[in-house]
Amino acid sequence: MRADRLTLAGPTVAVAGDWHGNAAWATQAIARIAIADPQVRDILHAGDFWPSPSFLASVDAACADAGIERVIVTLGNHEPWAELTPLITDGQPALLSERVWVLPRPYVFTVAGLPALSLGGASSVDRQWRVEGDSWWPDEEITDDMVSRAVHAGDVAIMITHESPESTPVAAVAAVLASNPHGFPRAALLASAASRARVSEVWDALRPDVLFHGHMHAPGIGKTSDGRTVVSLGCDRQPMNVVLLEVSAAGVHVRRIAD
């Protein structure tokens, strides 16, 4: 690990799911974090952040009020990729505003001394209703090269992604995947399954204690048969959009906060 890698002191950080550029919701979520634990200084965001200038200004202001020093974003699929890709091609985090950073793909950092891996991106199942270069970009995809570099990250205790792993233990996510409630076309579903398989390849190779993801809009927590935890975060306007990750000598613990 390089000496200049991002380091989060902890012992507690917040982890947030999709905000979709919703400034009112983000402001409320940040305030709830401060109420739940005034010592939290960092928020890990699991993507679909959508950093417009006005949204960044609102997030910076809310963080200043709450004592939050950094929001560190693992990018999702619904992001302005044409603007963001050039910022992270050197493999280093990019500062978007006073307090908001975005991470390259993949990226290893530390949380309270524990190694963590960020692997951003996901497949948009709604791409057929979007416009390439305006509301959808191929850069959203998790590539084989990203997977190859991620699986060589070494020991990892924490993983944060936007995409869900394929064989999820989260009942709410499994139900969505089994039912296709929004009627997405078969080609989009196949692309989505391939994206989840790439996350699973990394998840199963590195075997971290906990994985956080957004994207599915299906909040819940599940455990695999070998005891690993998957946390599916809710999106804006849903429960469990924000949780706390607590690191201690006993390991990692996920704590829900009041919605």
Ramachandran class of 252: left when φ > 0, alpha when ψ lies in -120 to 50, beta otherwise: beta
Token pair for residue 123?
């497949």
More confident residue, 2 or 69: 69
Tens digit of pLDDT for each residue in 70-104? 999 999 999 999 999 999 999 999 999 999 999 99
Q: Which are the contacts of 51, defined by CB distance < 8 A and separation ≥ 6? A: 21, 73, 79, 80, 84, 96, 97, 100, 102
Q: Mean pLDDT lowest for which of 7-16, 152-161, 181-190? A: 181-190
**Band (184; pLDDT cuts 50, 70, 90):** confident
3-state secondary structure of 156: coil
Q: Where are the beta strands (DSSP E) in the chain?
A: 7-8, 12-16, 42-45, 70-73, 94-95, 100-102, 107-111, 114-119, 158-161, 210-213, 220-223, 229-232, 242-248, 251-256
Q: Residue 143 gets which letter from DSSP?
A: P
Sorted by where each starts, the structural domains of the chain and their CATH numbers stand as 7-256 (3.60.21.10)
Kindly report the pTM of this predicted structure: 0.96
pLDDT at 22 (0 to 100): 98
pLDDT at 5 (0 to 100): 80
pLDDT at 208 (0 to 100): 97
pLDDT at 4 (0 to 100): 60
Helices (H) and strands (E) in the chain, counts: 6, 14
Q: Name the residue with tokens 């200049």.
A: 4
Residue 226 has pLDDT above 80, yes or no: yes
Average pLDDT, the chain: 95
Residue 2 has pLDDT above 70, yes or no: no
